[in-house]
Amino acid sequence: PQGIGSPSVYHAVIVIFLEFFAWGLLTAPTLGVLHETFPKHTFLMNGLIQGVKGLLSFLSAPLIGALSDVWGRKSFLLLTVFFTCAPIPLMKISPWWYFAVISVSGVFAVTFSVVFAYVADITQEHERSMAYGLVSATFAASLVISPAIGAYLGREYGDSLVVVLATAIALLDICFILVAVPESLPEKMRPASWGAPISWEQADPFASLKKVGQDSIVLLICITVFLSYLPEAGQYSSFFLYLRQIMGFSSESVAAFIAVLGILSIIAQTIVLSLLMRSIGNKNTILLGLGFQILQLAWYGFGSEPWMMWAAGAVAAMSSITFPAVSALVSRSADADQQGVVQGMITGIRGLCNGLGPALYGFIFYIFHVELNELPMSESSGGSVAAQYHLQQNSIIPGPPFLFGACSVLLALLVALFIPEHTNLNVRSSNWKKHCGSHGHPHSPQAPGEAKEPLLQDTNV
C-alpha cells in the first residue's frame, strides 16, 4: 500500500497541523489585505466571504464524506487540502481573486470531515473520543503559535515572505499526503463499493436536521446549540479584524491575543471542564458556560479600551466549555446506537451556523455603519486614529453585533434551563437504520445520520 507505515492517527494529525499552520501564518496579512481591498465595507464583505464559504462547506461535507466511503480517504484528503490552501499564493498576486477563491473553496474546504472518517477507520469506538481530542488539540496548537510567527516575519521581512512560507508549508502538506499517508479504507472494501450508488440521503446536508423535532429534549438541545453557536461563528470570523481595525491592536497584539486565548481555552476545556463536570454536574456546566459567553459578548459590545478586550478574552476562554459539555450530555443520554444520529444533528447545526453567523455579523456591522471610511491605517498611529474615530461615532455601543450575540445566547440560556439533567434521547429512524445497514461499513462514520463525525472537544481559538 502507498504511504509510510500503517494508517495511524498521527498521519491525520500532521495533515491538520500543516494545513492550519499555513493559514495561521496569514492571520495578520489577511486582515491588512481585507481592509485595503474593501476599504468602505470591510466588515460586510468579510462576513459575506466567510458566510459563503461556510454555507458551501455545510452543503458539500456530506457528499464528500459519502464519496470518500466509496473511493477512499487519501484521495479526498488530497483534494480538500489542495482546494483549502489554493487561495494562499493569490494573496500577493490578486487580492480580488484571493477572496473570490476563498469563497468558492468552501465546496472542498472540509478537511475535518475526511480526517474524522480517516480516524474512525483505524480506531475502535472507545478510542475515538481520545483520537478526536488529539486532532482538536493539534488544530488549537497550530493556531496558537502560527499567527505570532507570521506577524513577526511580516514586520521584519514583509508580507511577501509570509505568503511564500505559507505556500511552501501547504505544498509540504500535499506532498506529505501523496508520499506518507497510507489509505485507511481497507482495499478489500473499496472494489466492492466502487459500484455502490450514492443516495440522496447520504449527500443531503439537511438529513440530520430533519430528525431534530422527533424528540422534545433533542429539540431543546439543538435550539440551545444554534442560538449559542450562531454568534460564536460570527464572532470568530470578524473579531480579529475588529481588534485590528477598530480597537487599534497591532499585528503583534492580535497574534498575542490569539495565543493567550487559545492556551486559556485548552486549559478550560480540559482541567476546568473536568472539575466542573464532577462538582456541579453536566447541565449546570452548560448553564455556566452560557453565562460566561453572555458576559464575554456584552463586554466586547460595550468595551472601548484594549484592556477590556483582553479581560473579555479571558472570559471567552471559560465560555469554551459549553460545547464539550453539550456533547457529553448527549453522549450520556443517548443510546449506544443513537450516538451518531444525535451528534450528527449538533454538528450539522454548527455547520449551518458557520455559514449564517459571519454573514449576519457583517450585515449588522454594515447597518450600524461600523466602517473605517478610508482612514489611514499605519502601524504607529493609524490604529489609534481609527479607534478614536469609531468610538466618537459609536460611543454608547462600540460593537453592536456582539451585543446582538449576547441577546441570542441569553435566549439559549433560557432554553437550556428546560433541559433535564438525566434523560433518554429517542430519535430512532427506520429509514436511517435500514440505509445505514445497507451502505455503511463497520468502521466508517459516514452514514447519513453521521455525515460528519462530531468534534467532541471543539476549540474556540
Query: Is 456 or 291 the better-scoring residue by pLDDT?
Result: 291
- In the chain, domain spans: 1-186, 210-371+398-420
Dist. CA 381–CA 371, nearest whole Å: 18
Dist. CA 77–CA 15, nearest whole Å: 8
Let me know: does 153 contact 169? Beta carbons within 8 Å: no
Kindly list the distances between the CA atom of residue 21 and the CA atoms of 80, 141, 170, in Å, as whole numbers in the listed order. 16, 9, 9
Q: Do 1-186 and 210-371+398-420 share a fold?
A: yes
199: helix, strand or coil: coil
Joined together, the cell numbers standing for residue 85 give 490552501
Let me know: does 182 contact 5? Beta carbons within 8 Å: yes
From 152-156, 187-191, 222-226, the region with the lowest mean pLDDT: 187-191
Let me know: does 46 contact 212? Beta carbons within 8 Å: no
Number of H helices, E strands in the chain: 21, 0
Q: Is the pLDDT of residue 376 over 60?
A: no
Q: Which of 350, 299, 290, 278 is nearest to 318 (CA)?
A: 290
- Which residue in the block uniquely carries the three cell numbers 458551501? 56
Joined together, the cell numbers standing for residue 312 give 473579555
pLDDT confidence band for 326 (50 / 70 / 90): confident
User: Rounded mean pLDDT of 312-336?
Assistant: 77
Q: What pLDDT was estimated at residue 461?
A: 32
Radius of gyration of the chain from Cα atoms?
A: 22
User: Rounded mean pLDDT of 214-236?
Assistant: 86
Computed from CA positions of residues 295, 297, 300, 301, in that sequence, does the dihedral angle turn out positive or negative? negative
Query: What is this structure's pTM?
Result: 0.71
Helix (H) or strand (E) holding 225: helix 216-245
Q: What pLDDT was estimated at residue 350?
A: 79
Query: Is 208 or 307 the better-scoring residue by pLDDT?
Result: 307
Matching CATH number, 210-371+398-420, of 3.40.47.10, 1.20.1250.20, 3.40.50.300, 1.10.357.10: 1.20.1250.20
What is the chain's mean pLDDT, rounded?
A: 76
pLDDT in tens, 38-71: 877 788 888 888 888 888 888 887 788 778 777 7
- Record: fold of 1-186: Growth Hormone; Chain: A; (1.20.1250)
- The one-letter code for the residue type at 383 is G
Contact partners, residue 255, CB within 8 Å, separation at least 6: 27, 28, 147, 148, 150, 151, 152
